[in-house]
Amino acid sequence: MLLLNTLRNEKANVLAGLAKRQVPDAEATIDRIIALDDRRKAVQTSTDSLLAERNKLSGEIGKLMKAGKREEGNAMRDSVNAIKEEIAKGEEELDTVKTELEDLLLTLPNVPHDLVPAGVTEEDNEVFLPYNGELPTLPEGAKPHWELADEYGIFDLELGVKTTGAGFPVFTGQGARLARGLVNYFLDRNTAAGYTEFQPPLLVNEATARATGQLPDKEGQMYHINGNGDDFYLIPTAEVPLTNLYRDVILEEKDFPVKITGYTPCFRREAGSYGAHVRGLNRVHQFDKVEIVQIAHPEKSYELLDEMVAHVGKLLDELGLPFRILRLCGGDLGFTSAMTYDFEVWSAAQQRWLEVSSVSCFETFQSNRLKLRYRAEKGTELAHTLNGSALALPRIIAALLENNQTEEGVTLPEVLHGYLGMTKLQKVV
């Protein structure tokens, strides 16, 4: 959530940044927010003054009554009752103004970093780091991963439909082993890089989802469990519970950077996702992902963003997957992000790039909602938050299958041999 002082004191810069996102009526919304905040302050000041006057008169009434001046005391009591009515009206208006103010603040996305390119769609994203190597050349008759899945016993979409519905793959045999090995590999690499591993809940409450910006922005993409006294959301990413571990926390400067990682299944409704480009594992409703999160001093956050980008790049290098890095334009940037780098791996059988990771810096946008601060010289200040996928499994598995298929089987990258106890996947049919 954007800071009120930022909207007041840096309005021109905020509007220039929001213009990169094509935010409609941004200036009118900001003006309304400032007007509501002015009204909030005025009502609060008036109410506080009335409260002070009521307390003063109440004390005087007591003195009058003790002195036997009941007539004067009763007259003053009438004045106190009138003041109480005004206080009640003021408190009611204050609640209304605060609610509208917060609701409007929640509609504004984060202001993009100056380096974020302007643009509307993913076609306007900047290729930050192109792939300069040679893309894999596949043998004649090479197949996409959804056809290889049956031959190698990797996953079964029909079993997922049977047990749950479309978009819930069941990994089997070598596929389940591959998924487990990848999770362990990613976690081991993350912890070796200084991240502390957590295993968070898969269900979160509304306050948790709101704190990291999933609500109200992505409400339609989240699975909501509401009934029998429950009111929870299935997590769309481990970022949500991991970052919220530090909600309402005040850190010391010596605590920075806080580095945490965790593996979870993730759940996304992905409404409206149809067509050949989402076949197989390209887009599913449940998938496994390992996440990295950092909480940083504001002066170090973009340095740490570069560090996280390098870390994810190293994982893909070790897996032998051709990848490129995009810097997202304003129109394709996530609601909460100030800057995002997307990693895309090359799918040799599909002949296209597949997104496998987003690494983002949110500056104070999330920490303002989280009330996540640190002690500075002149009081407490908001920390910066960052996160990234390291990595999401479905498209990694798709690319490993497609890029490494041979007549003798699917060759596995060397870094996975110890995790899987084999060097290649063998056909089962």
Pairwise pLDDT comparison (273 vs 109), residue with the higher score: 109
387 is in an annotated binding site: yes
Mean pLDDT of 83-103: 96
286 is in an annotated binding site: yes
312 is in an annotated binding site: no
| pLDDT score at 323 | 98
| pLDDT over 90 at 73, yes or no | no
357 is in an annotated binding site: yes
pLDDT tens for each residue of 351-375: 999 999 999 999 999 999 999 999 9
54 is in an annotated binding site: no
Pairwise pLDDT comparison (279 vs 198), residue with the higher score: 198
428 is in an annotated binding site: no
| pLDDT over 70 at 275, yes or no | no
358 is in an annotated binding site: yes
For residue 37, give Cα distances in angstroms to 2, 43, 382: 14, 10, 20
270 is in an annotated binding site: yes
Burial of 204-218, coded b for 16+ CB within 10 Å and e otherwise, reads: beeebbbbbbbbebb
pLDDT tens for each residue of 248-269: 999 999 999 999 999 999 999 9
| pLDDT score at 51 | 93
210 is in an annotated binding site: no
| pLDDT score at 277 | 59
284 is in an annotated binding site: yes
377 is in an annotated binding site: no
277 is in an annotated binding site: no
pLDDT tens for each residue of 20-33: 999 999 999 999 99
| pLDDT over 60 at 273, yes or no | no
356 is in an annotated binding site: yes
Q: Domains of the chain, with CATH numbers? A: 4-105 (1.10.287.40), 122-425 (3.30.930.10)
Cβ proximity of 393 and 171 under 8 Å: no
